[in-house]
Amino acid sequence: TTVISSLILYYDKKNRQLYLACGITAFILDLIYEIVGTTFTQKWSYVSNIMIPYTQLPINVPIVYFGLGILFASFTKYIDKWLD
**Residue-wise DSSP of 48-84:** -SSB-TTSS-BTHHHHHHHHHHHHHHHHHHHHHHHH-
Cα–Cα distance measured from residue 12 to residue 20, given in angstroms and rounded to the nearest whole number: 12
Q: Quick check: 1 pLDDT over 70?
A: no
Q: Averaged over 26-36, what is the pLDDT?
A: 92
Whole-number pLDDT of residue 22: 93
- Does residue 48 surpass a pLDDT of 80? no
Looking at residue 41, what DSSP letter applies? S
Which pLDDT does position 79 carry in this prediction?
Answer: 87
2 pLDDT more than 80: no
Mean pLDDT over all residues of the chain? 87
